[in-house]
Structure 1
Amino acid sequence: MDLRLLRYFVATADAGSATRAADLLHVTQPVLSRQLRQLEASLGVPLFAREGRRLRLTRAAEAFLPRARDLLSHADDLERAVGVLGAGRLEELHLAVPTTTLTDVLAPFLATLRADDPVAKVRELDPRGAVAAVRAGADLAIVTRPPGRALASRALAVLPVWAYVRADDPWADRGSADVRDLVTRPLVLLTDDLRPRPLLDTAAEEADVGYGDVLEVSNAQVAQALAASGRGIAVVSDDPRFGLVPLHIEAPSGPVRIRLYAAWDPHHHAAAALAGLAERLAAFCVERYGVEVAAR
């Protein structure tokens, strides 16, 4: 089907006369008439009946017109999409993000996007990691472990894992807590599928200590809420809530920290644009939390 002939047909149907349609299409009337006859010949049905100086759609043309409009609309959408692909641009940005990172890092970053940036579509990170998330359709995955060589990546930030205590806790003015002291207190810990927990486990193993009284939960905000209610010290990487006071956690090898990475398919049509967004997100983390979180 010749789309140019369809455009001539739709324009003529809308204009009601070949003369007016020819003017709108910037062609001569004989050229337009010849093209319309060619379309009629290819379809095998007449499309117009002449009534004085006006053209009337035949019954076949009335049935064909909405389908022609629909086909042209899809063709226009496809042409726009190809233009975006060819230019290495994104109209939509599909992100896979851990819940904590979404709340404290990504959502505030999305609020800074410009009108010419792609529209962000966010879903929870696949628990199997960055490769699985990208294979499932994510343009950009934000992860807390190095994504591996199969993907292009950018280290975004190095953020503390905090021990949160109430403002009336005896430790509230200490600024930090040694992991050997921390395990002697009641703790509200995340499950081991959430990154702060294995980081704390590693710190405890380095210090050759074990946990005492532990309450385990699967949500960082719930952990802080329980800490605020006096159930223990919450160990999470979230920003503070409920008036809690953050303490750095010190392990034998240094402060306990969580690393953030952005990962994407190096063969993505908009790989350069994704790398640019990752750079902007890294800069945003420094702006939000200070130069000390800069990934090196």
Structure 2
Amino acid sequence: MTVELRHLRAFLAIADEGTITRAAARLHVTQPALSRTLRQLETHLGVRLIDRSTHHLQLTAAGHAFQPRAAAAVAAVDEALDPAGAGTWPLRVGHAWSALGEHTTPLLRRWKQEHPHTPVQLLRVDDRTAGLAHGTVDVAVIRGRADLPDEVHTVALLTEPRLAAVAADSVLTRKPRLTLHDLSTEPIAVNTVAGTTTPDLWPADEIPTDIIEVANTDDWLAAITTGHAVGVTTTATAAMYPHPAVVYIPLIDAPAVTVYLVWRQPPSHPAVPDLITLAQRLITPPPLRLSPGRPVLQSPRAV
């Protein structure tokens, strides 16, 4: 049997909806037809993808492993057949929040100068891998750790100092610098989908007890501007999301966040290596050149 795109769409719909009934309605097919399509796919792969032992269907371990591959394949076909993209092949760069901060515009402008025939699409995707795991982007900007597919390459691009984000009328704005201790008694807005802030950032005896969970940067900012919470972020957010009702203050005892560029190997777009090279050239600081015999001194916070 030859696997077709409909087999992948059927599996993804069932995985998303959790029942054959809802998945069939979504795909406008009958339930028996959808069940047959799933069985055909499982027979071809030689593994069970969906556990049917309960009323609410669950992915098996093989199903969880296959899901991002199937999603990436469907996304690639949809992208290739999109009439809006006929004649062009945009390079899709994903990010969950703040892109590359202050470096975003210079990078995009330089890219347009050097690669005028390859447009870049900057896409905000609210998940930990910024769309890379599901094949919706060619390169992802990722902060901190993420559960990435095995076939990816990663390069550390820069580190960003952390900042506290507080409402403009907060008493915390009276301090030029803040510590985690200063925030420990405040409600903390935490992006549980793609953020880098968790309660573990605080010492064990100062972990905040009032956590306000949000799913994206817009909701995070709303919680802060209204005075319902404070936030912890990086300098990139201050550059990309300036707001008259928010003050960003250096957070002096929180570790910096490493920013990575991540892409699949082989690349899903031929221009990926060029983008990586350009980003490194514009953003990554050059190596320090030392005079012979001269030691390098580092402050304890730099280690």
TM-score by length of 2: 0.51
SS in 1 for 2:144: coil
**Aligned partner (choices 111, 116, 120) of residue 113 of structure 1:** 111
What whole-Å deviation, never above 9, does each CA across 1:140-197 have from its counterpart, x for those lacking one?
121113568743322122113321223443321423322223111233x123222233
Q: Distance in 2 between matches of 1:211 and 1:96?
A: 31
Aligned residues of 2:168 and 2:244 also touching (Cα < 8 A): no
Deviation of residue 119 (structure 1)? Answer: 0.4
The one of 88, 92, 95 aligned to 1:94: 92
User: Structure 1 residues 174 and 155 mapped into 2: Cα distance closer, same or farther (>3 Å)?
Assistant: same
Shift, 1:266, TM fit: 4.3
Runs of 4+ in 1 over 4 A off after TM superposition: 102-105, 146-149
Separation (CA, whole Å) in 2 of partners of 1:134 and 1:202: 26
1:222 counterpart = 2:219: yes
1:190-233 residue CA offsets vs partner (Å, 9 max, x unmatched): 232222333xx2222x3432323443322324333432333232
- Kindly state the Cα deviation for residue 111 of structure 1 after the two structures are TM-superposed: 3.8
Match of 1:129 in 2: 129
Structure label with greater radius of gyration: 1
Cα 1:241–1:105, aligned 2, differ >3 Å: closer, same or farther? farther
What is the alpha-carbon distance in structure 1 between the residues aligned to residue 102 and residue 190 of structure 2? Answer: 17
Change (3 A) 1:227 1:272: closer
Structure 2: which amino acid aligns with 1:228?
A: T
**Residue 232 of structure 1: which of 229, 239, 243 is its match?**
229
Instruction: Measure the CA separation in 2 of the matches of 1:280 and 1:133.
Output: 23
Shift of the 281–208 alpha-carbon distance from structure 1 to 2, 3 Å rule, reads farther
Give 1:183's aligned residue: 184
Q: Which residue of 2 aligns with 1:255?
A: 254
Change (3 A) 1:166 1:158: same
- Which residue of 2 is the match for residue 196 of structure 1? 196
Question: Are positions 1:273 and 2:271 aligned together?
Answer: no
Q: Are the equivalent residues in 2 in contact too, given 1:162–1:249 (CA < 8 A)?
A: yes
What's the CA shift for 1:273? 1.6
SS at match of 1:255: coil
| Cα RMSD for the two superposed structures | 3.6
SS at match of 1:197: coil
TM-score (norm 1): 0.52
The Cα of 1:120 is off from its aligned counterpart by 0.7
Q: For the structure 1 residues 142 and 103, does the alpha-carbon distance in structure 2 shift closer, same or farther, using more than 3 Å as the test?
A: same
Gaps of 5+ in 1: 1-80, 82-89, 285-294
Q: Distance in 2 between matches of 1:128 and 1:192?
A: 9
Distance in structure 2 (CA, Å) of the matches to 1:165 and 1:134: 33
Paired residues of 1:163 and 1:247 also in contact (CA < 8 A): yes
Q: Deviations over 1:5-44 (max 9, x none)?
A: xxxxxxxxxxxxxxxxxxxxxxxxxxxxxxxxxxxxxxxx
CA distance 1:148–1:96, change in 2 (3 Å):
same
CA distance in 2 between counterparts of 1:169 and 1:266 reads 47
Change (3 A) 1:171 1:233: same
1:161 & 1:137 partners in 2: Cα distance? 29
Count of paired positions: 190
User: Does structure 2 conserve the Cα–Cα contact (< 8 Å) formed by 1:220 and 1:236?
Assistant: no
Q: Is the 8 A contact 1:195 1:258 kept in 2?
A: no
Contact 2:223–2:229 (CA under 8 A) maintained in structure 1:
yes
Instruction: Say if 1:157 and 1:282, in contact at 8 Å, map to a contact too.
Output: yes
What is the CA–CA distance in structure 1 between the aligned matches of 2:98 and 2:230, rounded to whole Å? Answer: 18
